[in-house]
Structures are given as structure tokens and as C-alpha cells.
């Protein structure tokens, strides 16, 4: 460690101290093998019974560009990002300056001290911990690739001493991970101990400490894309057509993996079909064709894919064909921002396609809901005979979250909706493909091949009457469009309702949020409440909104609508569909591509409410 830094010690703020409540951020070079070491670090903390929220921030790149991994340790169970970094582990010279800047005063900088760095590279108000990682590994390993890979495990070893990770937990995790390659268990353990032993000999533990707890329970640690894929499998999806696009690719890949394990007979026969389309248009075309023919089908994509699929999504709406689309939202266009998160496809999805169209959106908040809604989407699509979107984002889809274990009710049967059978047709039951027989706007359909002489019809987007006969009459068109609107109102009664968290005191302030904002929002609400800002909170879980959503808004004077996009898209939907006065809806927006943090929300909402109180004092409102 450079002398100048030591000399400056007296002006440093006291080192941060915290137990099971701090943020560690690793900065690495993409492709250097750091991901598995960082994952091991996060998982070891979970195994000690302490909740963790981990976020991988990665570039559009295979090798060489900067990548970060942020681990929030929260004994209290906060799973959103907090904001700020207490312990930085910058191992990438490209981003050193920015990484050092992020550390909160009194925080810690852990670095590879093999090569001396000038004093200007450090800060006076943080605490520096140097470990000669490169030197340690160069001495222990001869093969360059091993030197690089084991350096990652080596820093985990050093950190384990500094913050109190139990070595037995690491050993157990390595045994599980490398069960099929036992040689690697010892090799990784050696590297871990190299770092740990060096640190134990030269350094004291720091103020940030882990303490074994029992706050994790039976929760699982899983990505939203994998959870959604599993939901699709349990929901009975048999046809998947997709085109690679970040951040949705791993959803299709996870579905493939789960199908290989769970939908393949011993002789290799598959009870599913997965096709990698030539583009997103073909992918949704395959989904629409399969849905028309009675198979549960889905595609997964991101914003640009939705743009390309627009024409087909409209056809699904007008021709009333079930389809499920998982939209894993992100920034963009271009490469780069697509590896960052956003909630910016809401309007695109809600009104996709030409003509008067509206679509059902499900808004999961974490991988647990990705599983539930992933399965539910197929029942809804069949029941409503239309496209159902499941709106993930990169933060949910590609990050591992700690969520309650997946649950399934074995008594549950697939709901195929209103499908007329050969027996019903034979018995002379009335069949009019676009006739609203039940008053809910949803007509009956038949699958091709059902009956030799009854129930066949010709599918068109529009230009038909209630019996599916060709018609260019305006009155027939309008009649059909009114029924489709009625069906959309029915949808509002079938989709998951909002989750309301009332404030501890009666209040005129409300907040509405959805999706990946939820974890940070829950935490921010607690803090704001403690500061005297009482807010009734409502997490919306689907579009179209039910009456309860509008009732909540009308019961409050001002509503903060929190979302991760620039244009306040949820707010627009509330205004358009509910006729809500824009003046009642205050936007709290975060859209730089990083997941929203509790500290940002506390600051933004707090300032708004402070300003409101100040205004009220001036105008002497009660």
C-alpha cells in the first residue's frame, strides 16, 4: 500500500461497520472467468442463512469489456438494489476510476496490490485493502489460464477472511458444483485457501461482517427467464418458436433444457417442439399457426422483436388466436444498452399492431411470479383467444433472485377455454365462430380436423360476420369490434389483481408501481414511512386494469407512479384506459439502464412529498 495513503489516515472517516447489511461490488473483465467466483461468493452468503440480492451488469460482448457483479447482503431481506457501494473489488483497470468513485465514505476498497498504484488512484475517505492476488497466483500456478481463473477464487478466499464467510460453506458449494468433476473441487479449494491464508496472515477482518442467520428459509435462488420457462412447461406449452435476442435468449434455452428433462420419453420421443425461427416474424407466425390449431405456443423476445411481430400480434387479436409472448424488456436499439434493464415496452405491447387493438399484459415482479404468470398466461390466452404478454425485464429475467420455492397444485387441469368438440357439434349444438353466446365477448372455436361436416370455418383478420362468413359490411365490422372490446373487459376480471399495501396511517398519497421496481419500492416505502411520509402503495400485476385499480386512484389526492422508462408509460395507460386526470399522477422515473434503487426512490419520492407539504403550508391547505 502506498505510504501517502497511510499518512492520510487521520482524515479518514471511521470505517463502516455493519452486520449482514452491506453492498459489495466486483468489477471484472468480461470473459475472465469471474462470474462463477462471484456467484460462489453470493451463494455462500445465502448458505449462511443471510438473504442476498445479486446483480450482474454485463456488456454486449463475449470477451474484454467491463462487467460488474453487485451483491447486496441484507439480513432484513431487502432484495432490490440499495444504491451505493460499501466494499468495492475493482479488478478491471478500465473502470477503476469510476468504481472507486462509487464507494461510500468510510467504505472499503479491496484491490490487487501486486503492482504499486500512484496515490492519485485512491481516495482519502475510504479504507484501502491491498492483496497481491496476481503475485500469489503467479507463484502457485504455471499455466497462464490457471493463473487467471484461480485468481478469481483466490480473491473470494481473501474476502472470506475479511468479512467472515465460513470456509466449510465454500467447500460444500464446490463439492456440489463439481460433483461430476471431482478434480476441480480440490483445485478450487486450494485457490480459495491461498487467498484466505494470505489474508489471515496479513490483514484483520473489516467492519462489514457476516453472521450466520436463519433469514433465507426454504427460498430458492433463480433467474426470471428460467422461472418463466418452467412456468411455460407447467402451463402446458408444447410449441416454442424463438429467435435469439438479449435478454430473452436464456428463456428459450431454459425451456429447451427443462423439456429435455421433463417432457422426453425414455426412447427419446418428445412431447414438445422447439423451432429457432429465421426471425421474430416467423417465430410469432409459428406461434399463431400452432395456437390456431389448438397447441399451446409461445415465443420469447425483447422490444425489437415485438416491433417486428406487430402485424401478427394484430392478427392474433382480430382473428382471435391464442398466443403467449414473453417480452424481456431492455434498453436499446443498438448493441450495448440491450444488456441493461428497462420497463420501456409497456405501450408498445399494450397497443401492438395496426388498427384498434389492445392486449393483455401480465407484470411479474420477480422469478416467483414469472413461474406463476408464465403458466397462467397459457390458460388466459386459450380462455380469451388472444395474445397474452408476460412482461419481464432484464433485471428479473437475467438476474438470480431469492424467492419462495415454486409451487404447483397437482389437481389443476389445463383450461383450454371455449373449444367446441366433435360430440357437441354432432349433437347439433349451435356453432357461430364469432357469435357471443355467453355475453362475455368470447366466442367458441373449433380445432381443424374436429368433425367431418360441421364446425369448419375460414379464418380472417376482419371482413366477416358472426358466422365467419365473408362480409365487408360496416355494421358487421363494428359489431365484431364491440364484441372484442367486451372481451377485453372480461379479460380485466380474469387477470391477477393489484397488491395493495396500506400505509400505517390514513393518507391522501398513493404510489403505483409494477415489475422489477417492487423490491426497491417496498424498501423505500418502509424508510419513507419512518421519515413520516405515509403512502398507500399498490403494485399492479396486469393490464387491462380492474376497477380496483381505478378505485385506489380515486381514493387518493396524489399518486406517485413509479416506473423504469422515460415516457411514464404506465401513467399513460392509466390516463388512456381510466380517464384519470394527469394532474393526479406524479411520475417518478428511472431509466438509465441500471436497476432502480431504494435510495433513488427515497430521495425522489421524499423530495416530491416535501415539496408538496411546503406548497400546502404556503397555500394553507389542511
CA distance 203 to 494: 59
- The answer to the question of residue 457 lying near another protein (CB under 8 A) is yes
CB of 308 to another protein, least distance (A): 11
Residue matched to cell numbers 489471515: 200
CA distance 359 to 377: 12
- The answer to the question of residue 241 lying near another protein (CB under 8 A) is yes
Angle at 181 between CA 230 and CA 31, to 5 degrees: 70
Mapped to the 3 state alphabet, what secondary structure does 271-325 carry?
A: CCEEEECCCHHHHHHHHHHHHHCCCCEEEEECHHHHHHHHHHHHHHHHHCCCEEE
Q: What is the bridge-based pairing of β-strands 273-276 and 297-301?
A: unpaired
CB of 72 to another protein, least distance (A): 19
- The answer to the question of residue 13 lying near another protein (CB under 8 A) is no
What number of chain residues touch another protein (CB under 8 A)?
A: 73
Q: Report CA-CA distances (Å) from 171 to 36, 67, 83, 152, 597.
A: 14, 26, 31, 16, 33
Site for another protein in 319-358 (CB under 8 A): 319
Closest CA relative to residue 595, chosen from 563, 568, 561, 559: 563
Site for another protein in 465-504 (CB under 8 A): 470
CA distance 393 to 346: 11
Nearer to another protein, 74 or 342 (CB): 74
CA distance 491 to 389: 13
Nearer to another protein, 93 or 289 (CB): 289
- The answer to the question of residue 263 lying near another protein (CB under 8 A) is yes
Evaluated on CA atoms 68, 343, 72, 368, the torsion sign reads: negative
The distance of Cα 15 from the centroid of its chain, to the nearest Å, equals 34
Site string for another protein, 113-152 (x = CB under 8 A): ----------------------------------------
Taking a C-beta distance cutoff of 8 angstroms, is the pair 8, 124 a contact?
Answer: yes
Taking a C-beta distance cutoff of 8 angstroms, is the pair 162, 117 a contact?
Answer: no
Angle at 25 between CA 50 and CA 1, to 5 degrees: 115
Nearer to another protein, 451 or 612 (CB): 451
CB of 27 to another protein, least distance (A): 27
Taking a C-beta distance cutoff of 8 angstroms, is the pair 92, 119 a contact?
Answer: no
- The answer to the question of residue 409 lying near another protein (CB under 8 A) is yes
CB of 379 to another protein, least distance (A): 11
**Binds another protein by CB under 8 A, chosen from 3, 266, 410, 581:** 410
Nearer to another protein, 198 or 298 (CB): 298
Site for another protein in 272-301 (CB under 8 A): 272-275, 277-279, 281-297
Nearer to another protein, 88 or 288 (CB): 288
CA distance 80 to 335: 26
Nearer to another protein, 202 or 270 (CB): 270
Nearer to another protein, 289 or 578 (CB): 289
Nearer to another protein, 458 or 622 (CB): 458
- The answer to the question of residue 221 lying near another protein (CB under 8 A) is yes
**Binds another protein by CB under 8 A, chosen from 351, 406, 477, 591:** 406
Nearer to another protein, 415 or 610 (CB): 415
Nearer to another protein, 269 or 504 (CB): 269
Site for another protein in 359-378 (CB under 8 A): none
Stretch that binds another protein, among 152-160, 401-409, 600-608, 613-621 (CB under 8 A): 401-409
- The answer to the question of residue 418 lying near another protein (CB under 8 A) is no
Assign 103 to helix, strand or coil: strand
CB of 168 to another protein, least distance (A): 16
CB of 312 to another protein, least distance (A): 6
The CA dihedral of 557, 561, 566, 567, to the nearest 10 degrees, is -60
- The answer to the question of residue 239 lying near another protein (CB under 8 A) is yes
Stretch that binds another protein, among 126-134, 243-251, 307-315, 488-496 (CB under 8 A): 307-315
C-alpha cell at 325: 409472448
DSSP 8-class letter at 470: B
Site for another protein in 523-542 (CB under 8 A): none
Nearer to another protein, 10 or 410 (CB): 410
Closest CA relative to residue 597, chosen from 570, 564, 565, 569: 564
CB of 451 to another protein, least distance (A): 6
Nearer to another protein, 210 or 286 (CB): 286
**Binds another protein by CB under 8 A, chosen from 6, 120, 334, 413:** 413
C-alpha cell at 256: 429447451
Taking a C-beta distance cutoff of 8 angstroms, is the pair 75, 45 a contact?
Answer: no
Amino acid at each position: 500500500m502506498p505510504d501517502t495513503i497511510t499518512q492520510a489516515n487521520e482524515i479518514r472517516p471511521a470505517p463502516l461497520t455493519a452486520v449482514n447489511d452491506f453492498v459489495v461490488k466486483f468489477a471484472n473483465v468480461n470473459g475472465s472467468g469471474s462470474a462463477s467466483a462471484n456467484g460462489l461468493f453470493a451463494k455462500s452468503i445465502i448458505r449462511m442463512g443471510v438473504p442476498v440480492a445479486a446483480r450482474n451488469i454485463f456488456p454486449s460482448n463475449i470477451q474484454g469489456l467491463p462487467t460488474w457483479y453487485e451483491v447486496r447482503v441484507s439480513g432484513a431481506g431487502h432484495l432490490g438494489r440499495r444504491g451505493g457501494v460499501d466494499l468495492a473489488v475493482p479488478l478491471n483497470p478500465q473502470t477503476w476510476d469510476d468504481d472507486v468513485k462509487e464507494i461510500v465514505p468510510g467504505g472499503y476498497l479491496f484491490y490487487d496490490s501486486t503492482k504499486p498504484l500512484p496515490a492519485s488512484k485512491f481516495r482519502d475517505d475510504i479504507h484501502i485493502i491491498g492483496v497481491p492476488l496476481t503475485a500469489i497466483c503467479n507463484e502457485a500456478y504455471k499455466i497462464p489460464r490457471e493463473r487467471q481463473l484461480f485468481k478469481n477464487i483466490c480473491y473470494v478466499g481473501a474476502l472470506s477472511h475479511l468479512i467472515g464467510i465460513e470456509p466449510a460453506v465454500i467447500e460444500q458449494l464446490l463439492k456440489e458444483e463439481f460433483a461430476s468433476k471431482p478434480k476441480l473441487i480440490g483445485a478450487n479449494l486450494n485457490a480459495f485457501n491461498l487467498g484466505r491464508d494470505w489474508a489471515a496472515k496479513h490483514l484483520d477482518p473489516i467492519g462489514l461482517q457476516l453472521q450466520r442467520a436463519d433469514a433465507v428459509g426454504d427460498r430458492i435462488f433463480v433467474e426470471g427467464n428460467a422461472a418463466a420457462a418452467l412456468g411455460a412447461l407447467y402451463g402446458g406449452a408444447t410449441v416454442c418458436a424463438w429467435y435469439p435476442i438479449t435478454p430473452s435468449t436464456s428463456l428459450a434455452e431454459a425451456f429447451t433444457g427443462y423439456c429435455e428433462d421433463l417432457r422426453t420419453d425414455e426412447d427419446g420421443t418428445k412431447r414438445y417442439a422447439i423451432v429457432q425461427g429465421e426471425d421474430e416474424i416467423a417465430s410469432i407466425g409459428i406461434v399463431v399457426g400452432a395456437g390456431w390449431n389448438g397447441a399451446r405456443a409461445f415465443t420469447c423476445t425483447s422490444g425489437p422483436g415485438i416491433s417486428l411481430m406487430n402485424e401478427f400480434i394484430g392478427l392474433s387479436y382480430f382473428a382471435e388466436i391464442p398466443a403467449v409472448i414473453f417480452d424481456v424488456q431492455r434498453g436499446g436499439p443498438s448493441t450495448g444498452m440491450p444488456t441493461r434493464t428497462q420497463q420501456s415496452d409497456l405501450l408498445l405491447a399494450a397497443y401492438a399492431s395496426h388498427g384498434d387493438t389492445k392486449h393483455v399484459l401480465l407484470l411479474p415482479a420477480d422469478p416467483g411470479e414469472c413461474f406463476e404468470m408464465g403458466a397462467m398466461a397459457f390458460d388466459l390466452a386459450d380462455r380469451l383467444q388472444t395474445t397474452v404478454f408476460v412482461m419481464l425485464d432484464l433485471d428479473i429475467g437475467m438476474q438470480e433472485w431469492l424467492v419462495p420455492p415454486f409451487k404447483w397444485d397437482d389437481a389443476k387441469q389445463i383450461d383450454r377455454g371455449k373449444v367446441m368438440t366433435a360430440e357437441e357439434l354432432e349433437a347439433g349444438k349451435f356453432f357461430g365462430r364469432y357469435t357471443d353466446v355467453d355475453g362475455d365477448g368470447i366466442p367458441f372455436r373449433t380445432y381443424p380436423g374436429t368433425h367431418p361436416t360441421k364446425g369448419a370455418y375460414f379464418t380472417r383478420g376482419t371482413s366477416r360476420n358472426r358466422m365467419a362468413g365473408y362480409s365487408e359490411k360496416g355494421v358487421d365490422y363494428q359489431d365484431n369490434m364491440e364484441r372484442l372490446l367486451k372481451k377485453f373487459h372480461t379479460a380485466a376480471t380474469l387477470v391477477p389483481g393489484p397488491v395493495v399495501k396500506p400505509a400505517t396511517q390514513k393518507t391522501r398519497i398513493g404510489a403505483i408501481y409494477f415489475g422489477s421496481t417492487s423490491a426497491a419500492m417496498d424498501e423505500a416505502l418502509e424508510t419513507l414511512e419512518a421519515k413520516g411520509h405515509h403512502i398507500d402503495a399498490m403494485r399492479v400485476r396486469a393490464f387491462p386494469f380492474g376497477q380496483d385499480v381505478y378505485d385506489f386512484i380515486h381514493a387518493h389526492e396524489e399518486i406517485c407512479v413509479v416506473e423504469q422508462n422515460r415516457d411514464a408509460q404506465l401513467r399513460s395507460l392509466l390516463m388512456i384506459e381510466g380517464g384519470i386526470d394527469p394532474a393526479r399522477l406524479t411520475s417518478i422515473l428511472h431509466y438509465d439502464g441500471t436497476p432502480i434503487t431504494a435510495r433513488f426512490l427515497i430521495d425522489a419520492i421524499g423530495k416530491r412529498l416535501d415539496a408538496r407539504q411546503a406548497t400546502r403550508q404556503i397555500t394553507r391547505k389542511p
